Amino acid sequence: MTDDIPRRSVQRTAKLASLPLGVAGRVAAGWGKRLTGRSSEEVNAELIAKTAEQLFAVLGQLKGGAMKFGQALSVFEAAAPPIIAEPFREALVKLQAEAPPMPTTSVHRMLAEQLGAGWRDRFAEFNDTHAAAASIGQVHRAVWHDGRPVAVKVQYPGADHALKADLKTLKRFTRLFQMIVPGAEIRPLLDELEDRMVEELDYRSEAEYQRTFAKAFADDPKYRIPKVVASAPKVIISEWLDGVRMSKISAEADQATRDRTAELLMEFQLSSPARCGLLHADPHPGNFMLLDDGRLGILDFGAAARLPDGNPKAAGRLVRLAADGRSEELMDFARAENFITSDNSGLTAQDVMTYMGPLTDPVKEARFHYTRKWLQFQAGRLTDFGRSEFDTGRGLNLPAQHMLLTRVWGGTAGILCQMEVDVPTRSLFEKWVPGFAE
């Protein structure tokens, strides 16, 4: 199976270790080019472009945890300064949409293992050429025996070994990734990916989540969730969706189409906990598409969070207090809900207000214009150790039950900033987030 994914830890570690070595080599070469008279700006732009190309080429080639990490990083692209964001954009789109395929023999072997030796009899047609690649599996287009077009997601052999090896190695390079993608909290992101790893490897869990979403949004005029046709631990078959991927809409669609698509995405993420007790926890553009009938199609339910009581009321209340500038009430509530622990008693109400206030800009007016510039400013002020917000952030505590929700909301905002859109975020919070409207 070694032709499917580089499985041995030493092989994968060597590829990942090439990233910091490559950066160091390019920095040295850059100094040489400056000595020949080229401008610092020109050399830096070239350095960053080549680093981005290498970074996402390696992450995509390795698949497994490396590719999943790269997809998670993609939502931070809008927070990066323009000199970094521009060369990253093309590499990110490629990572979200494609990766080297596994051999056809491996696909057939996995289908036989999971569906039985007569797996071909279940299909009227099966296309051996993969239609898309994900972090731990790839998708093939097929026709089910009853004539329905279907997507067949097949897990890469050795994906479990790859995930474990990658995440262990990537933790050694957190400083490098922090430098390349400013605004990304790398270590917590890797910890969360590791926590969710086992569940995502079992496609039966994904199938269960997808069935729950599909039932809750059945015949919805705004959304389309493909129904699950059949599933096994490492294969999942669901209805095929045709549409325009979010990344292409972001790059090519007119403003009205971008605004409408972005509003659909935001409402889906805010409403699903109330509608089905689940949160789609993998917000990157490759998982959303605009269908011909105007609905938003949602894919890939491997990462989902159970919120049986809907969005936490405490989260809505905290956002509302910060948006209204009620600093003393915000401080008392944050302490009561364990966002501030007794160990951090040095924080003042104004400290917390200064930290949180700008983050609530999207709900302070009827419509908010999400821009890269806004997100870059937010990322800059929260990660600049020379500013007071940096110290405040280190003093705040994010309870475990809010950690994933915060990342999903932040990741969704990152997509909206990539798209540069106007969204009625306030009214959506009032409708779907308990504690905000009260």
> What is the DSSP secondary structure assignment for residue 433, as one 8-state letter?
S
If you average pLDDT over residues 260-266, what whole number do you get?
98
What pLDDT digit, counting tens, does each position of 357-389 carry?
989 999 999 999 999 889 888 877 876 656 777
DSSP helix/strand/coil, 62 = helix
Q: What is the pTM of this model?
A: 0.76
Q: What's the rounded mean pLDDT across residues 417-434? A: 96
Distance of CA 42 to the CA centre of its chain: 31
Whether residue 16 has pLDDT greater than 80:
no
Rounded to an integer, the average pLDDT of 63-82 is 52
Tokens of 81: 């300064």
Q: Which residues contact 404 (CB under 8 A, 6 or more apart)?
A: 192, 279, 281, 305
Q: State mean pLDDT over 398-416.
A: 84
Interval 73-85 mean pLDDT: 52
- Residue 125: pLDDT band by 50, 70, 90 thresholds? very high
376: exposed, middle or buried (C-beta count within 10 Å: 0-12, 13-18, 19+)? buried
Residue 73 has pLDDT above 70, yes or no: no
Distance between start and end Cα atoms, the chain:
57
Spatial strand order in the sheet of 123-133: 123-133, 137-144, 149-155, 235-239, 228-232
* Confidence (pLDDT) at 162: 64
C-alpha neighbours within 13 Å on the C-beta side of residue 340: 20
Mean pLDDT over residues 217-243, rounded?
96
Task: Specify the 3-state DSSP secondary structure of 302.
Answer: coil
Output the pLDDT for position 3: 46
- Please name the residues in contact with 219: beta carbons below 8 A apart, sequence gap of 6 or more: none
**pLDDT above 70 (res 156):** yes
What confidence score (pLDDT) does residue 393 get?
Answer: 74
Q: In the chain, what percentage of residues exceed pLDDT 70?
A: 65
Query: Which pLDDT does position 417 carry in this prediction?
Result: 92
DSSP 262-285: HHHHHHHHHHHHHHHSEEE----G
Sequential DSSP letters for 313-334: HHHHHHHHHHHHT-HHHHHHHH
Topology annotation, domain 104-159+200-239: Phosphorylase Kinase; domain 1 (3.30.200)
Residue of 303, 304, 285 whose CA lies nearest to 96? 285
Domain ranges of the chain: 9-98+160-196, 104-159+200-239, 313-432
Question: Is residue 43's pLDDT more than 50?
Answer: no
How does pLDDT run across 411-422, given as a tens digit for each residue? 899 899 989 999
CA–CA dist 309, 316 (Å, integer): 13
Predicted confidence (pLDDT) at residue 100 exceeds the cutoff of 90: no
The reported pLDDT for the residue numbered 32 is 37
Average per-residue pLDDT in the chain? 78
Pick the more confident residue, 305 or 119.
Answer: 119
